[in-house]
Amino acid sequence: MKKLCEDIANAIGSAIRGYIGADSGERILYMGADGTPTAVIDDVAERAALHVLKDDGRPVRLVSEEMGNVVFGDNPEFTVVLDPLDGTYNALRGIPFYSVSIAIGNTDLSQIYYGYVKNLVTGDVYVAERDRGAYLNGKEIRVSTRKDTDPYCASIYGCAFTERNFLNRNGKKVRLLGSAALELCYVASKKTDAFIDARNRLRVTDVAAGKLIVEEAGGVVTDDFGAALSTPLAIKERVNIMASNGRIHDELLARLREWNK
Amino acid sequence: MKKLCEDIANAIGSAIRGYIGADSGERILYMGADGTPTAVIDDVAERAALHVLKDDGRPVRLVSEEMGNVVFGDNPEFTVVLDPLDGTYNALRGIPFYSVSIAIGNTDLSQIYYGYVKNLVTGDVYVAERDRGAYLNGKEIRVSTRKDTDPYCASIYGCAFTERNFLNRNGKKVRLLGSAALELCYVASKKTDAFIDARNRLRVTDVAAGKLIVEEAGGVVTDDFGAALSTPLAIKERVNIMASNGRIHDELLARLREWNK
């Protein structure tokens, strides 16, 4: 699996190079299967990945951001959940924080057994295999040990709630970085302590790999109400997600509940 | 000036290396002159800079985040406004976005004539000299040309207002990155279109260099009410700041005014 993921990531990295920080990549080509506009750079990235999968030749069910659900070959044995470019806007503006996210699984988010996220700027590779731990560039990673009384840092997707009314207390930090897949890896590698989707607009393609990576690093991933995630691996599904080091999970859920009242 | 700034930045870069992503750098040593706690990593960074300034030997008035206002030698001819490490929290957590910011001027923010910001992760150097343009790694930079009807991106300091009630409209993006000096350089190099301080808690050390860099790249920097900034170069001063490409400045001011009602 790792080889296939690496080949996909390398192909995408090369394909998008000319569009980083360039207005030419921003033009909208069509509406993607996920219901959001597909820019030139998204299309280029996905096509690079499709070529690799086709050349590989194994029968596979693909769930990808722009094409949606596609089957290659007969009787596929596994599902590839792909976000060819997570953090499109960052890439277009030259903000150095975007990634490719690839997960291997069966029918829903609870059954992902391989996750791969590559930071396309630094080349950092985050990998997790079910029950075998999470790794950054081959070195095992663990979530942070910060408790809810420590100064912790959460990154958020969207900005529908504020630091003031949800997270702001002594020393708490908020970041808004713009690549959910990579932000989940930040939780796994203790660069942050939590990642919260504030808009319920993420897709399985954004979170499938990162979820396994956080869990294998010792963290906890639920929906915003604390329930386990078992969203079907289909492009139209929306996910809401809260990932943390585990120790601050209950507090974040409680505060979000209070805020939602 | 450039040589002095480079020497300072290199000394700081080497001094903090062992503290990146390490808990050991987080311990609080004392309250800094700016009224915020000084962590080991801040102290180490500033001391590295002080050694360089002392060795340089020129008489200089220094305004620095932890030490405050200091005079080296007799009858200093200029003021060095220094933030040895802008984005301390990012550095401590291993989030790759922190910088050193150095400005040369006289008595207030309106008179800065040299600005230097180095991204300590990528090594990118942003420089501006009054009336001589702004440069990223030696190449001239200009702000973006996006209008208020385009999908634009603002990064914010703090999170006291939300995307929803202040910035959120079709395609607008918000980022919260955690190094004001570098975020000003992002406006100058059209990675974003605006930077807004939402908390009125920045200091001249955070913004003196970045302000000149934005202006020399063709952008506009004012306070949150649209007035020119002439804050005295002293460590206790607080600044509120709105930097943009100019074209979206009036709209941002109008919306902030409305939001503040």
Minimal Cα–Cα distance from B161 to chain A, Å?
A: 6
Chain-chain contact of B21 with A191 (C-beta, under 8 angstroms): yes
For residues A17 and A132, state if they share a domain. Answer: yes
Chain-chain contact of A178 with B175 (C-beta, under 8 angstroms): yes
Residue B215 lies in a domain: yes
For residues B100 and B162, state if they share a domain. Answer: no
Residue B16: strand, helix, or coil: helix
Going by pLDDT thresholds of 50, 70 and 90, the confidence category of residue A169 is: low
With beta carbons under 8 A apart, name residues in chain B contacting A175. 95, 176-178
Residue A86 lies in a domain: yes
Residue B147 lies in a domain: no
Number of H helices, E strands in chain B: 6, 15
Contact A188, A106 (CB under 8 A): no
Residue of B nearest to A164 (CA): B160
For residues A250 and A167, state if they share a domain. Answer: yes
**B246 touching A, CB under 8 A?**
no
With beta carbons under 8 A apart, name residues in chain B contacting A192. 93, 95
Contacts 24+ apart (CB under 8 A), B36-45: B38/B66, B39/B88, B39/B92, B41/B16, B41/B85, B41/B88, B41/B91, B41/B92, B42/B66, B42/B84, B42/B85, B42/B88, B44/B15, B44/B16, B44/B19, B45/B12, B45/B15, B45/B16, B45/B84, B45/B85, B45/B100
**A163 touching B, CB under 8 A?**
yes
Q: Which of residues 11-50 of A touch B (CB under 8 A)?
A: 21
Q: Chain A to chain B, count of Cβ pairs less than 8 Å apart?
A: 70
For residues B48 and B131, state if they share a domain. Answer: yes
Residue A145 lies in a domain: no
Residue of A98, A163, A168, A200 for testing the chain B interface, max B β-carbons within 10 Å? A163
**A150 touching B, CB under 8 A?**
no
Q: What is the pLDDT of residue A159?
A: 58
A137 or B31, higher pLDDT: A137
Task: Give the tens place of pLDDT for each residue, A4-34.
Answer: 999 999 999 999 999 999 878 888 888 888 8
Residue A146 lies in a domain: no
Contact A185, A126 (CB under 8 A): yes
**A171 touching B, CB under 8 A?**
no
Opening angle at CA B86, ends B81 and B89, nearest 5: 150
Q: What is the pLDDT of residue B200?
A: 76
Residue B215: strand, helix, or coil: helix
Minimal Cα–Cα distance from B178 to chain A, Å?
A: 7
Q: What is the pLDDT of residue A160?
A: 52
Number of domains comprising chain B: 2
**A146 touching B, CB under 8 A?**
no
Q: Locate B13 and state its tokens.
A: 């870069």
Residue B146 lies in a domain: no
Q: Return the bridge partners of B176, or none.
A: A176
**Which of A163-177, A193-207, B103-117 has maximum average pLDDT?**
B103-117
Q: A38-47, A233-242, B154-163, B204-213: which range is least confident on average?
A: B154-163
Domain holding B186, by residue range, is: 153-260
Chain-chain contact of A163 with B158 (C-beta, under 8 angstroms): yes
Q: Is the ipTM of this complex over 0.95?
A: no
For residues B128 and B161, state if they share a domain. Answer: no
> Block means of pLDDT (10 residues each) for chain B, length 261 residues?
96 96 84 87 96 94 93 93 96 96 97 97 97 98 92 79 52 86 98 87 95 98 95 93 96 81 68
Residue A243's nearest CA partner among A200, A210, A204 is A210
CATH of the domain at A193: 3.40.190.80
Q: What is the pLDDT of residue A165?
A: 47
Contact B196, B156 (CB under 8 A): yes
Q: Which of A140, A162, A181 is the last residue of a domain?
A: A140
For residues B129 and B219, state if they share a domain. Answer: no
For residues A6 and A134, state if they share a domain. Answer: yes
Nearest-CB residue to A93 (from B94, B153, B160): B153
**A79 touching B, CB under 8 A?**
no
For residues B102 and B196, state if they share a domain. Answer: no
Nearest-CB residue to B159 (from A89, A174, A178): A174
Residue A4: strand, helix, or coil: helix
